[in-house]
Amino acid sequence: MTEALARLWTKFLPDIEQRAQVIIAASRTLNTGSLSDEQRLCAHTAAHKLAGTLGMFGLPHGTELARKIELLLGEELLTGAASDLAVWSADLAALIQANKEPQAQ
Binding footprint of other proteins on the chain (CB under 8 A)? 1, 4-5, 8, 11-12, 15-16, 48-49, 51-57, 60, 63, 67, 105
Q: Measured from the CB atom, is 27 or 63 closer to other proteins?
A: 63
CB of 55 to other proteins, least distance (A): 3
Q: Measured from the CB atom, is 8 or 94 closer to other proteins?
A: 8
Q: Measured from the CB atom, is 82 or 96 closer to other proteins?
A: 96
- The continuous run of DSSP H or E covering 56 comes out as none
CB of 32 to other proteins, least distance (A): 29
Q: Measured from the CB atom, is 2 or 31 closer to other proteins?
A: 2
Distance of CA 14 to the CA centre of its chain: 13
∠ CA 5-8-14, rounded to 5°: 140
CB of 38 to other proteins, least distance (A): 16
- Contacts for 82 with CB less than 8 Å, ≥ 6 apart: 27, 30, 31
Q: How far apart are CA 10 and CA 7, in angstroms?
A: 5
Q: How far apart are CA 15 and CA 13, in angstroms?
A: 5
